[in-house]
Structure 1
């Protein structure tokens, strides 16, 4: 099979990839037949999962807008996925042109496409990295060059922590990242959770992901709060993504309780 122009050499087109599945669910085209087939199976098993994906993406946009309004001008988006709609740099730089955004993803397609669309944007870049190795991400010269860790940074962990196994210590990962941040910084997360009345549908989707390199794990609101550790929870706390600072000027979206959203703040110490 010949690869499309946007696909890097050597990419595995035989195994579904979480970033490409998400891209297809959001209407993107940087995916392969195996990803589309997987997504269609997931949507058949859980017909509402597409709305969950859009709710998660909408939360990301609102979180970035909220952070810019709070004065943040630097963003480290880990598990950023394939740029599809509402990219972080587009949202942030539309409000604050000086904002800087570093995208990090483990998928080579996500990184290659990000680098292509960011060509010429001196305030945004993309690198390949593994969330499970936060020190390698923080030490990457390209990350260090773009972001000033002596100033507040917002770390975005949107729809990625549910791919981190308990044995890989998601709370420890967040702690390592937050320890590298100065006071006035934030960590924004979203995470898959179990939803009453959807046990069968969610079980089927979870089993589908178990057949890929990235099994998915549901966690409770209490577990998500614990992952944020000593960071101060911004109101309204750990809530369904659709309930996290909804835009009052937009029509209220029906609650999507299967994806939780939260933001932690690292206070400024005198």
Structure 2
């Protein structure tokens, strides 16, 4: 496995870990991450807002919606309040399959992503670009005759071709039954994110994998044929946010949405 881990090139999972305050990263990740922060100072807020959105979405799905199966694609490095922790706190029998293809993520996931006794947490070494492999490999950990929440937070932005990204979502949602959900976040140059263009260009020259932003219309196309839950497509920081102070959350340039398969 170690020969697959590049410590001389910044990698998204480790840089994201750095932005979230984690320790599972290398000097090159911190250097690139800090340079991106210099170009786009709110990137740390985006990372934190994306993680908080995950918590609110999983809380709703495991609670009110009664979902007991989660397929989390593009897991990244384990931090706090991972999908299984949020879901199993509400429903101890929830089953979670994490999918990633980065070797350092795999090593940490096996060590840290432990399950409640009643439920299950498993890790699948697979690439989001290959949904067929994910669909073939996810059973028997998940029962594809019962609803599944397919979670793709900050992962489709690494699929550079929008038609391919739509095809990936379509294939995954075809594999799950009515009553399943799609949970998405994606960076954009809208919502005040225009300043992110220079940061993304720097990233694509100095880190891996390359990244792209998308418009609201492109993001909406991933949800075609599905029923969007209220409040629809918004900044992920604003999706069902209920701050105790009543203050409006910071707007981040990251779309978020949850949609149900009819």
Q: What TM-score bracket applies, with the shorter chain setting the length? A: over 0.9
Which residue of 1 is the match for residue 78 of structure 2? 83
Q: Is the 8 A contact 1:240 1:255 kept in 2?
A: no
Q: Report the alpha carbon displacement of residue 167 of structure 1 after superposing the two structures with TM.
A: 5.8
Q: Report the alpha carbon displacement of residue 25 of structure 1 after superposing the two structures with TM.
A: 0.4
Matches within 5 A, 1:223-238: 223-238=218-233
Which residue of 2 is the match for residue 210 of structure 1? 204
Report the Cα distance in structure 2 between the residues aligned to 1:252 and 1:18, rounded to whole angstroms.
31
Distance 1:66 1:252, change over 3 A: farther
Q: Report the alpha carbon displacement of residue 53 of structure 1 after superposing the two structures with TM.
A: 0.8
What SS class does the counterpart of residue 43 from structure 1 fall into? helix
1:82-107 deviations in whole A, cap 9, x for unaligned? 01111111100011000011100121
Which residue of 2 is the match for residue 125 of structure 1? 122
Which residue of 2 is the match for residue 19 of structure 1? 13
Q: Report the alpha carbon displacement of residue 120 of structure 1 after superposing the two structures with TM.
A: 6.5
Matched, 1:193 2:188: yes
Which residue of 2 is the match for residue 48 of structure 1? 42
Q: Kindly tell me the number of residue pairs found equivalent between the two proteins.
A: 257
1:44-69 deviations in whole A, cap 9, x for unaligned? 11111111110111001101001012
Q: Report the alpha carbon displacement of residue 252 of structure 1 after superposing the two structures with TM.
A: 3.9
TM-score by length of structure 1 reads 0.90
Structure 2 residue corresponding to 1:9, chosen from 2, 16, 25:
2
Q: Report the alpha carbon displacement of residue 249 of structure 1 after superposing the two structures with TM.
A: 3.7
Question: Structure 2: which 5+ runs fail to align?
Answer: none
Distance 1:197 1:186, change over 3 A: closer
Which residue of 1 is the match for residue 33 of structure 2? 39
TM-score by length of structure 2 reads 0.93
Which residue of 2 is the match for residue 4 of structure 1? none
Report the Cα distance in structure 2 between the residues aligned to 1:21 and 1:102, rounded to whole angstroms.
23
Which residue of 2 is the match for residue 155 of structure 1? 150
Q: Report the alpha carbon displacement of residue 232 of structure 1 after superposing the two structures with TM.
A: 1.3
Structure 2 residue corresponding to 1:116, chosen from 104, 111, 116:
111
When the two chains are superposed, the root-mean-square deviation of aligned CA atoms in Å is: 1.7
Which residue of 2 is the match for residue 59 of structure 1? 53
Q: Is the 8 A contact 2:15 2:32 kept in 1?
A: yes
What SS class does the counterpart of residue 208 from structure 2 fall into? coil
Q: Report the alpha carbon displacement of residue 215 of structure 1 after superposing the two structures with TM.
A: 1.7
Q: Is the 8 A contact 2:145 2:177 kept in 1?
A: yes
Distance 1:250 1:196, change over 3 A: closer
Report the Cα distance in structure 1 between the residues aligned to 2:201 and 2:246, rounded to whole angstroms.
34
